[in-house]
């Protein structure tokens, strides 16, 4: 094939692993077999507990879209350390993501996703990452890290619109994943899910207004009962019109009942 402009030709398969091998994503330049952590005479040291953590994430599908909410708190053990943090974010016009678990791991994965989005935009071909692809990608990344016993300690809720249909899925630190119409993580699984489930009308999806109110109610209950929750939260909404993260929302608080309680003073 002489006469072909070699200056423009690119290897068909570049920057990738050898055929039959695996990517070592988040592993930097190390090969997949080298593993993680500083090596010493006693073997490798791994960190395997979350340090700064976010609590529950709640996601709901509604007629024509999906919304994901998480409060604004990142805790350091029992310290309410960072109190205005967005744990939900817009990936692109068709995908949103909410995360609980280790916040540093979330920021790391968020940086990688934003890099992917810049790549997408630079291609300038109107093709961008779809929610199911993002969901599957996260599944593989998290599972790959758990296989190395160096998990990304995350509980993620992926949402978006794909082929006109709302999508909502959950991925955890092992890479376990499932899709559903309502998803909650952590305390939300115990407190928010039953509240939302009670309002389901068989054969009809929620309207956006209903979903917004259910999120509001869920975050309120979570604030009252989850010691690692905060009264302020953010909601990411994705519809066919695009995705956006709300202004900070406040839960309704009513402590009047506290004046009736006797025996503590």
Partner 1 sequence: MFQQMNIQQNFPEYNIPGKQHHDFSPYESNGGSIVAIAGKGYAIIAADTRLSSGYSIHTRKQKKTFKLTDTTVLGSTGCWCDTLSLTSLLAYRMQSYVHTHQKTMSTNAIAQLISVMMYNKRFFPYYVSNVLAGLDEEGNGVVYSYDPIGHCEKTTYRAGGTAGALLQPVLDNQIGYKNQNLAEKPEITKEKAISIATDTFISASERDIYTGDSVVICIITKDGIEEKTVQLRKD
Residue 42 or 255 with smaller CB distance to partner 1: 42
Q: How far is the CB of 4 from partner 1 (least distance, A)?
A: 27
Residue 84 or 180 with smaller CB distance to partner 1: 180
Quote the CA–CA distance of 148 and 84 in Å, as a whole number: 33
Q: How far is the CB of 73 from partner 1 (least distance, A)?
A: 16
Residue 59 or 243 with smaller CB distance to partner 1: 59
Longest dimension (CA), the chain: 91
Q: How far is the CB of 208 from partner 1 (least distance, A)?
A: 23
Residue 130 or 170 with smaller CB distance to partner 1: 170
Quote the CA–CA distance of 234 and 176 in Å, as a whole number: 25
Q: How far is the CB of 78 from partner 1 (least distance, A)?
A: 7
Residue numbers of the site for partner 1 (CB under 8 A)?
A: 40, 42, 45, 48-50, 77-78, 139, 143, 146-147, 149, 151, 153, 170, 172-180, 189-190
In degrees and rounded to multiples of 5, residue 185 shows phi and psi of: -120, 160
Residue 76 or 240 with smaller CB distance to partner 1: 76
Axis crossing angle, helix 208-225 with helix 187-198, rounded to the nearest 10? 140
Q: How far is the CB of 139 from partner 1 (least distance, A)?
A: 7
């Amino acid at each position: 094939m002489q006469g072909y402009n070699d200056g423009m030709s690119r290897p068909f398969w570049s920057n990738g692993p050898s055929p039959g091998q695996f990517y070592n994503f988040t592993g930097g330049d190390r090969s997949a077999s080298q593993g993680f952590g500083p090596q010493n005479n006693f073997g490798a040291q791994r960190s395997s507990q979350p340090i700064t953590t976010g609590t529950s994430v709640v996601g709901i599908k509604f007629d024509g879209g999906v919304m994901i909410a998480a409060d604004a708190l990142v805790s350091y053990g029992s310290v309410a350390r960072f109190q205005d943090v967005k744990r939900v974010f817009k990936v692109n016009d068709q995908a949103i993501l909410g995360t609980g678990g280790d916040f540093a791991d979330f920021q790391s994965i968020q940086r990688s996703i934003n890099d992917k989005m810049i790549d997408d935009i630079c291609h300038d071909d109107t093709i961008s990452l779809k929610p199911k692809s993002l969901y599957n990608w996260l599944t593989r990344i998290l599972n790959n890290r758990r296989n190395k016993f160096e998990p990304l300690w995350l509980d993620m809720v992926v949402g978006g619109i794909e082929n006109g249909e709302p999508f909502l899925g959950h991925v955890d630190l092992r890479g376990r994943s499932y899709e559903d119409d309502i998803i909650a993580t952590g305390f939300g699984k115990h407190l928010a899910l039953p509240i939302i489930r009670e309002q389901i009308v068989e054969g009809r999806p929620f309207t956006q207004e209903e979903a917004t109110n259910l999120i509001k109610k869920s975050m309120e209950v979570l604030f009252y009962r989850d010691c690692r929750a905060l009264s302020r939260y953010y909601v990411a909404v994705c519809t066919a019109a695009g995705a956006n993260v709300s202004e900070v929302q406040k839960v309704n608080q009513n402590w009047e009942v506290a004046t009736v309680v006797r025996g503590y003073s």
